[in-house]
Structure 1
Amino acid sequence: MSARNVQIYLPENQIPLLETILARHTRRFWRESLPGEQEKYTCIVQQRYTERLLTDLDDAFRTVPSFAAHVAHLEAVLPTLEENPSTELLLASNLPPPTWLERFFSRDRLSTDEIYDDIEESLRIRPSFVLTVTLSAIIAGLGMLSGQVAVVIGAMIIAPLLGPAMGLALAATVGDWTLGRKAIAALALGCALAALTGSVIGMIVAIDPLTAELRNRTLVQPADIALALACGAAGVLAFSRGASLALVGVMIAVALVPPLTAAGIYTGAGLPAAGANAMFLFTVNLVCVNVAGIVTFLFQGLPPKSWRMTTGIMLVWVLLLGLLMAMMAGRILLGLGAGEGIFSALGNSAV
């Protein structure tokens, strides 16, 4: 069972209200008096109740200057906290009970604040971010050129675009423009660095444009949309449950890093049409990851600040996906989606 250790600091005159709130979210808490008429409460909270506890605390005490709340993960709790219908802590009477779908998807996820902390740290543009993006693109590019799938997966494990991709979906879900701007800036820089690194590889390394691992990144098929949607949904599910960043990185990077690097390689090698195909695949994948990410975050019960704003952003992504799907269908009908027009001539001249 997943649980959290929540420590709350408040002045003594706020204690009656605090204990009323705690009774709705936890059955185990301890009080400790501190100097300066401050009180410290230590609570054991089941993971599924952490979100709503933090929301109530923020609503009630955000204007109290000395208020603070710290959340830490607990590996084990004795005696165990039973999770069944008879031990469920009910919501306040003025709130509607969660649906079975909300219960199912939100049962084991991290609280919104924990997800924010995990994502915001990866959105800071530092020398380490620039270095990991560059190294990831180099590993992915050389792995594709040599046809070594394991090497390409190694580039995915580095996962430099994980934070920006998840941050963009989270910002759209909760309507946080500040987080969205940070995610866009980090994602734009990461994409530019990956494409530039691929271009340098394409200019200085002799490439075979018909190498399967490289050419596959220029093929845009309906299955690619299903793959990218699955990557986005699986990545959000794993990320919101505190899974290994390497695991989530593989899920997200399979749809982003390889086609982006391939676009740079083809462009650097003087094959702009093939590079455009790879960039088109990257664009389709990025849109799919965000559509699936937003839907999955909503299914998990992340609370939007404004449903109108979140719905509007979601509609923009869906319309963009529909436009890309129409373009993909046209490319397939014209023989461009499968790459015949680009690679037929290369088949006779490639060395």
Structure 2
Amino acid sequence: MYSADFIKNYVKKIFHLQDTTDQEGTVNNINENIDLKGYNIWILICSAVLASIGLDVNSAAVIIGAMLISPLMSPILGVGLSFGINDKEMLTRSLRNLGMATFISLITAYIYFTITPLGDATAEILARTQPTLLDVMVAFFGGIAGIVSGSRKEKTNAIPGVAIATALMPPLCSAGFGLATGQLMIFAGAFYLFIINAIFISLSTYLVIKFLQFPLRQYMDVKTRKRVSRIMSFALLFVVIPSGYFLWEVYLKNKMNRQVQNIIINKISNDETEVLKWNQ
């Protein structure tokens, strides 16, 4: 029989991350990509146009392409990293660039959906207007995968998958559609999904940075640390509670769908009656 210490050490060895972490390289890489200027702005605009076209024609392939080239992830990672290492200057730059990128993406999508000859609320747009707790989990675990992958000495190929899973640009462009067509509920739901993704990617980045024990840039006293923790807790609750309500609504709707399907298949269909087509 293996001893408890042997099992503990074995598990620790499997999940150990510190030995392969490039702390200085991770900080430098994220810090260098926070600022959106020059070629990054052009890529951001192109990504917003591609995502808008994909949403407009209901093309998942085009939307995925827009996710892969979008530079929105860098300032969001910068927010989580700056909290983790207590770098106020990096936090200010990250928030400023994230706000600018959000505004530019919204305006680009707004202009596109104002002039497009199509402009209907497609399935791809509507799919991003009612986020649930499942979207919170996608953003959180996608963010963990992203920062763990990005902090390795030997880089992995997980970053493109994280960009697709967390889907930052399509919700923003869906919000731009809501603005352009005057459908404020679509705007609110899509922008809420973007806020969820941004906050929980930043949160997962912060937690991984603290777990990997990145050195602090500035000392934070106990009083300030508690105040920051309270603010973050209230912000997370404010974001999560509506998504829990939406998940409950989705559960009730699916439950009703199963009940209706059960009635149609098991009670209406028999040897003398055949249901050829039904819709709800």
Name the larger-Rg structure: 1
Higher helix share: 2
In 2: Cα distance, 1:245 partner to 1:199 partner: 36
Check if 1:204 corresponds to 2:119.
no
1:155 paired residue number: 66
In 2: Cα distance, 1:243 partner to 1:218 partner: 38
2:79 paired residue number: 168
TM-score by length of 2: 0.75
Query: 1:307-346 to 2 correspondence within 5 Å?
Result: 308=222, 309=224, 312-330=227-245
Structure 2 gap segments, 5+ residues each: 1-11, 254-280
Structure 1 gap segments, 5+ residues each: 1-99, 339-351
Q: Tell whether the 8 Å contact from 1:199 to 1:268 is kept in structure 2 after alignment.
A: yes
2:19 paired residue number: 107
Query: 1:1-351 to 2 correspondence within 5 Å?
Result: 100=12, 104-111=16-23, 113-205=24-116, 206-209=118-121, 211-241=122-152, 247-248=158-159, 250-252=161-163, 254-304=166-216, 305-306=219-220, 308=222, 309=224, 312-330=227-245
The one-letter amino acid paired with 1:302 is F
Q: Tell whether the 8 Å contact from 1:102 to 1:300 is kept in structure 2 after alignment.
A: no
Q: Tell whether the 8 Å contact from 1:169 to 1:294 is kept in structure 2 after alignment.
A: yes
Q: Tell whether the 8 Å contact from 1:122 to 1:163 is kept in structure 2 after alignment.
A: yes
Q: Tell whether the 8 Å contact from 1:173 to 1:294 is kept in structure 2 after alignment.
A: yes
By how many angstroms is 1:105 displaced? 2.3
In 2: Cα distance, 1:162 partner to 1:132 partner: 13
By how many angstroms is 1:224 displaced? 0.7
1:40 paired residue number: none
Q: Tell whether the 8 Å contact from 1:267 to 1:275 is kept in structure 2 after alignment.
A: yes
By how many angstroms is 1:228 displaced? 0.8
Q: Tell whether the 8 Å contact from 2:36 to 2:101 is kept in structure 1 after alignment.
A: no
By how many angstroms is 1:313 displaced? 3.4
By how many angstroms is 1:125 displaced? 3.5
In 1: Cα distance, 2:237 partner to 2:42 partner: 35
2:256 paired residue number: none
By how many angstroms is 1:333 displaced? 6.5
Higher strand share: 1
Q: Tell whether the 8 Å contact from 1:136 to 1:156 is kept in structure 2 after alignment.
A: yes
Name the SS for the 2:128 alignment partner: helix
Q: Tell whether the 8 Å contact from 2:140 to 2:204 is kept in structure 1 after alignment.
A: yes
Q: Tell whether the 8 Å contact from 2:171 to 2:194 is kept in structure 1 after alignment.
A: yes
In 2: Cα distance, 1:331 partner to 1:252 partner: 24
2:274 paired residue number: none
In 2: Cα distance, 1:288 partner to 1:238 partner: 17
TM-score by length of 1: 0.61
In 2: Cα distance, 1:306 partner to 1:101 partner: 32
The one-letter amino acid paired with 1:324 is V
In 2: Cα distance, 1:120 partner to 1:329 partner: 34
- C-alpha RMSD of the superposition: 2.8
Name the SS for the 1:217 alignment partner: coil
Percent identity of equivalent pairs: 22
Q: Tell whether the 8 Å contact from 1:234 to 1:251 is kept in structure 2 after alignment.
A: yes
1:16 paired residue number: none
